[in-house]
Amino acid sequence: MNTEATDAPLIDVENLSVVIDRDEGVVRPLNGVSFRIDAGQAVGIVGESGCGKTMTSNALLRILPPGAKITSGHIRYRRKLDEQVVDLATIDSSSAEMRQIRGGDISMIFQEPMTAFSPVHTIHNQIAEMIQLHDPMDDQAARRRVVELLDLVGIVGPDERADDYAFQLSGGMRQRAMIAMALASKPRLLIADEPTTALDVTVQARVLKLIQRLQRELGLALMLITHDLGVIAHTVEYVYVMYLGQVIEEGPVVEIFDNPAHPYTQALLHSIPSLTDKSKRLEPIEGSVPSAFALPTGCPFHTRCTKQVGDICKRQMPAHTQVGKGHFASCFIHTEEGS
């Protein structure tokens, strides 16, 4: 534990690996993930389905599935209680310390808000309970805070809506209520895992704008997880691109869009509808993400890559190499061995 680290990043994940023991074999969803988020910074984590995005956030919160364990790495987190840096990779996942961080420091919003709410309690009761758990206050004060939070997330008539049940709200409103609940504990890091995927496009844009406004106004750090590069374009400052449980490219959002350095990122960008030129032909990435049961040797992307530099791609993992200001990629195109 480090007591002199108040200028440390809020969370610093280094070389994190997770394996899951299954009857069918060993699954390797995370294979040395490294990334960091500073206080108040908005970061995007992108990659196709199965790349390990959700597993990464579940590892941070120590809510891994049965049979899964962290086999290497650190998750250094600067906690709200006393600004001390603790390693969430080694802390007891059911300890009071971890529960405090899980509920109080780091909040999550999900794709499906119904899972966040109990069907048998009103929105008010659930948010008020969360508020009082982290900040003891009487029921009247908690009610005022619930209404304030519902107002903050843009729910019209918050005093009346507070007494609704989750199923009485529209999809977009439910998403807003879930965000209000996530904010109830005054977190410093908000993890949003595909927060808008289930919503239609116009609601999606509004909810993203809301998350962005809250992040800025409340000075929250944001980890926005999505398979959709379009979602992060205007929402985050810095992007980590994941492939098979590793970060294969990272950089400021403008660099990632204007100057992608890894063939995987380039392929991802070609596979999304152009934000400016709707007539551009889309090129889906060949093949699919290999199973985490049987990882390829060498560069994990080599089985689908159209830009291999040679046999080395099949044999060796390329180093994470600087390719621009604050911009890194793991590809032999950018290393000496590959030239």
Binding site for Mg ion (CB under 5 A): 53-54
Nearer to Mg ion, 289 or 309 (CB): 289
Strand duo 238-243 + 189-193: pairing: unpaired
Query: Which of 323, 212, 223 minimizes the C-alpha distance to 266?
Result: 323
27 near ligand ATP (CB under 6 A):
yes
297 binds, among Mg ion, ligand ATP, none (CB under 5 to 8 A by kind): none
Look up tokens 């960008």; give the residue: 269
The single residue among 8, 12, 44, 52 that binds ligand ATP, judged by CB under 6 A, is 52
Which segments within the chain are labelled E, that is strand? Answer: 11-22, 25-37, 42-46, 68-78, 85-87, 106-109, 189-193, 221-226, 238-243, 246-252, 321-324, 327-329
Q: Closer to ligand ATP at the Cβ: 31 or 185? A: 31
Interaction residues for ligand ATP, span 282-301 (CB under 6 A): 292
Q: Contacts with ligand ATP: how many residues (CB under 6 A)?
A: 15
Tell me the residue number closest to Mg ion, measured at CB: 54
Q: Contact region for ligand ATP (CB under 6 A) — 21-29, 205-213, 321-329, 330-338?
A: 21-29
Residue reference for tokens 């990629």: 329
Q: Which stretch binds ligand ATP (CB under 6 A): 36-44, 53-61, 161-169, 233-241?
A: 53-61
DSSP string, 119-166: TTS-HHHHHHHHHHHHS---HHHHHHHHHHHHHHTT-SSHHHHTTS-G
In the 8-state DSSP scheme, what is residue 233? T
Report what 50 binds from ligand ATP, Mg ion, none; CB cut-off 5-8 Å by kind: ligand ATP
Measure the CA–CA gap between 306 and 50, rounded to whole angstroms.
21
**Residues 6+ away with beta carbon under 8 Å from 23:** none
Is 54 or 308 the residue whose CB approaches Mg ion more closely?
54
Q: Segment 210-239, which members bind ligand ATP (CB under 6 A)?
A: 227
Minimum CB distance to Mg ion, residue 55 (Å): 8
Q: Does 49 bind ligand ATP (CB under 6 A)?
A: yes
Contact 86, 80 (CB under 8 A): no
Task: Compute the distance between CA of residue 294 and CA of residue 291 in angstroms, rounded to an integer.
Answer: 6
Q: Provide the minimum distance between the beta carbon of 193 and ligand ATP in the complex, in angstroms, as a whole number.
A: 7
One-letter amino acid for residue 272 of the chain: I
Query: In residues, how long is the chain?
Result: 339
Residue 71 engages ligand ATP in binding (rule: CB under 6 A): no
Collapsed DSSP state (helix, strand, coil) of residue 38: coil
**Smallest distance, ligand ATP to C-beta of residue 102, A:** 18
Cβ at position 50, least distance to Mg ion in Å? 8
Residue 207: how many CA atoms within 13 Å on its side-chain side?
29
Closest approach of Cβ 43 to ligand ATP, in Å? 15
Q: Does 22 bind ligand ATP (CB under 6 A)?
A: yes
What minimum distance in Å lies between the beta carbon of 308 and Mg ion? 28
If one asks whether residue 260 binds ligand ATP (CB under 6 A), the answer comes out as: no
- Name the residues that contact ligand ATP, by CB under 6 A: 20, 22, 27, 29, 47, 49-55, 65, 227, 292
